[in-house]
Chain A
Amino acid sequence: MSSELGVVLYFAVLNSGGLDNVGAVSTEVKRRLQEINVEDGVIRRVSIICFEAEMNLASYADRGGHLKVEVKPDRVEIFVEDDGPGIEDVEQAMTPGYSTAPLWIRELGFGAGLGLPNMEEKSDIFHIESEVGKGTRIHSVVFRRRDAA
């Protein structure tokens, strides 16, 4: 596989109505990035970003969504899209601690309102846009530096 041209991975993230499958896509992303020798620190950050994304799709987007991971020579780009309910106040959703997660999600230990802030923290570039009734899109970029922890 030529890393000069880049590798693009597409995944559908289903919303099965539970969290049993959450992590399946992120672990697959991790495996595929290891196969093409992406740096460990980059893989770790990308996997965490994908996990948080997957988790939110399974929790809030009634029909799930899509995840695209593009591996380029200097960066990994992650695109997350859903046609779920959207977010009314994105700034509020980005605030650590803000969460509308239902009780069953909190009982598992999720729903602390740290997912989106964590995705931003692990990204070098992070954009989120959302429209109520239309859905949510996230674009995240992680630069490939050897020292990335």
Chain B
Amino acid sequence: MKLREVAELLEAQFLNLEDEGDREIESACAADLLSDILAIKGGPALTVTSNVAPQVVRVAEVMGIPAILYVRGKRPAEEKVVDWATGNGIVLLSTPIPTFEACGRLYLKGIRCSEGKYL
């Protein structure tokens, strides 16, 4: 699924790198604690979070996370955090929708958990 389609599906706004809308996302994960984001297994994936601390963007760079989706209309307070993400090629999206609904919509479109299959 392209980030552009993710944005459309979730009524989300690109906070940066709008021209990266063609970037493909196959899997996703959701976490608010930085400790949890750092412990996520599997490859790079769209990360759904309500944590707007600048450290989330740092962690994303370290982990090679291609895009962050902030829920509930949140966004980093400082513009320099957005600039830093831009400089490192990390796409930031912000949706007014809460985590559960956002993940549910993505799941229905075929996006699966980046950590593998659970049953």
Contacts and interface: CB of A to CB of B under 8 A. Distances in A.
A109 B53 contact: yes
Interface size classification for chain A: 20 to 34
A115 to B, nearest CB: 7
A40 B34 CA distance: 22
10 contacts: A23-B58, A44-B63, A44-B64, A47-B62, A48-B38, A108-B34, A109-B37, A110-B33, A113-B35, A115-B35
Interface of B: 32-39, 42-43, 51, 53-56, 58-59, 61-64, 88
Contacts, number: 64
A23 B61 contact: yes
A19 interface: yes
A115 B58 CA distance: 16
Contact of B58 (A27, A44, A113, A117): A27
B38 A52 contact: yes
Contact of A114 (B38, B64, B88): B38
Contacts of A30: 61-62
Given A44-B64, A109-B53, A112-B33, A23 B38 contact: no
